[in-house]
A and B are shown apart, each in its own frame.
Chain A
């Protein structure tokens, strides 16, 4: 079989993945007051991974991401549910979120919210689900 000549794709991917991942993290962090958040950030992250899978073969990427995406999804949803349960400990309703302002070094006055933890769970769940779906459809048995 002739090896496909995809040097341009590889060169672009190497740069683009870094940009996409940075943008994904930006989207994730922007989500508190502006458009963005765990869902869209996770999808952008999954897009970067998909690009890697397209450019390189599945096995070599798998070697660098050695975890099962189904487990990643489960862990993500668990994190989200447990942040919800956190409210119960303080006699507040399920899914109650708290936030406060802290003086951090370098950042100055910063707003820290428990909602971010929930969003981490959402992001992991979205990355996991998107990757499971794409891998299941793409692999031919």
Chain B
């Protein structure tokens, strides 16, 4: 029992509620939200420390022992994601201070942001399938509100699609939970893993697993990503950045959790399907990123390529592949946030997202330009930046199990992604300067700090990959050996 496990969920929830009560004090909102995200960051750092030295930390809510109560579980994988969430969330929040506008702030922007973090953290920490659904909904309802906040025509139109798709996905999630409960008689993840391990993964359980894969793919944007480009280009920059950094990652986390803990007995079926879906996702995403001439569209298609690449590592189900996936997942959260922020700054400066109308920004904004260049290299996986190590491990994993096609597609799409971001760099920063400084629609004042910090973070993640390896290795060990997770939660209980 460790009450610290619940804290990353409780702290943002309480502070968000307090903010709702004191609605008009915007400055108070800003200070409190920064404080909250720092607090969750410190707590998750401490959780990582505890997991490293004392093993997986659990909390049985209300003292009801697993599998009868709701369990909260923090292992190294969720700990790393929690820490990254806090850091990326904090920086996106600081970006929002200077860019979101007072109207949105008055309409509960900061409480909604914290509720979103509550849902994301809850999804990472829960050890119960149904509770995962509830945390998903907390996150999604906040995201519905955030995506519509402001009420522009485009936002309303896109949010209707977004809400409808996610509602249907939620219903299918519930249906899948119902089938799983009927087949196994439990909804505690550790107990499920134990029972599925005992009776073997029969055809019907694999069918249920495919249903879960379908649901999480909709949320993660794996293959079923048709809703993503529209929805992620509608909201303001800070919101789009946090969506790109966190929301799809929660779906990816769920796929990882389910297909390493519970449904890992038939990798030749389930994981191969994940691999095929990942390959198609990467190809279609890369084609989309190349085809469009619009900054927002290019960036959203880059999110899709990233999702495919991370899941290619899971598809191999090897030590190398999963190591690469975790490295790349952390990298992707940081990099997608920063590239959305930079893209948003460019669009705000010029007032359009069409590449043909933007040119020569390097004269007036050299720092922004070179930071975009670094980020572009990092996305493509050029050493020593943070994308490199993940790509190497994932490719190694695909070659180790003989999925040469998957590794090859991963590498080819990396080049296509590099081309697509370089297209933005060359079009918007090079060329004739058509916009003098006083003609710009907004300034970069007050928004550079989060961008610079995130760029430093991607360089640091690349150079410090060696130091991170200890932690990633513990995460991969516990993903590859579900028995440690099961023992930590069930404490020796068996039917």
Q: Are A and B physically bound partners?
A: yes
Interface residues in chain A, defined as those with a beta carbon under 8 Å from any beta carbon in chain B: 70-71, 73-75, 77-78, 81, 84-85, 87-88, 92-97
B17 touches A77 (CB 8 A): yes
A93 touches B61 (CB 8 A): yes
25 pairs of residues in contact across A and B, judged by CB atoms under 8 Å:
A71-B20, A71-B23, A74-B17, A74-B18, A74-B20, A74-B21, A77-B13, A77-B17, A78-B21, A81-B14, A81-B17, A85-B10, A93-B1, A93-B3, A93-B59, A93-B63, A94-B3, A94-B6, A94-B10, A94-B59, A94-B61, A94-B62, A95-B61, A96-B63, A97-B62
Shortest distance between the CB of B43 and any CB in chain A (Å): 14
B60 part of interface (Cβ distance < 8 Å) = yes
1/0 per position for B1-30, CB-CB distance to A under 8 A? 101001000100110011011010000000
Residues of chain B within 8 A (CB-CB) of A95 are 61-62
Residues of chain B within 8 A (CB-CB) of A70 are 20, 23
A92 vs B60: C-alpha distance when bound (angstroms): 10
Residues of chain A within 8 A (CB-CB) of B20 are 70-71, 73-74
Interface size on B, residues (CB 8 A): 16
1/0 per position for B26-61, CB-CB distance to A under 8 A? 000000000000000000000000000000000111
A81 touches B13 (CB 8 A): yes
Residues of chain A within 8 A (CB-CB) of B1 are 93
A78 vs B62: C-alpha distance when bound (angstroms): 17
A78 touches B10 (CB 8 A): no
A81 vs B11: C-alpha distance when bound (angstroms): 10
A74 vs B143: C-alpha distance when bound (angstroms): 19
Interface residues in chain B, defined as those with a beta carbon under 8 Å from any beta carbon in chain A: 1, 3, 6, 10, 13-14, 17-18, 20-21, 23, 59-63
B61 touches A78 (CB 8 A): no
A77 vs B13: C-alpha distance when bound (angstroms): 9
B61 touches A81 (CB 8 A): no
A93 touches B18 (CB 8 A): no
Residues of chain A within 8 A (CB-CB) of B14 are 78, 81
By Cβ-Cβ distance, the 8 closest A-B pairs, closest first, are: A95-B62, A74-B20, A74-B17, A94-B6, A95-B61, A88-B3, A96-B63, A78-B17
For B7, give the chain A residue with the smallest CB separation. Answer: A94
A6 vs B59: C-alpha distance when bound (angstroms): 56
Shortest distance between the CB of A113 and any CB in chain B (Å): 13
A123 vs B349: C-alpha distance when bound (angstroms): 49
A87 vs B62: C-alpha distance when bound (angstroms): 8
B62 touches A96 (CB 8 A): yes
A93 vs B7: C-alpha distance when bound (angstroms): 12
Shortest distance between the CB of B187 and any CB in chain A (Å): 18
Residues of chain B within 8 A (CB-CB) of A93 are 1, 3, 59-63
A71 vs B17: C-alpha distance when bound (angstroms): 9
Residues of chain B within 8 A (CB-CB) of A84 are 10
For A77, give the chain B residue with the smallest CB separation. Answer: B17
Shortest distance between the CB of B98 and any CB in chain A (Å): 27
Residues of chain A within 8 A (CB-CB) of B10 are 81, 84-85, 94
A74 vs B16: C-alpha distance when bound (angstroms): 9
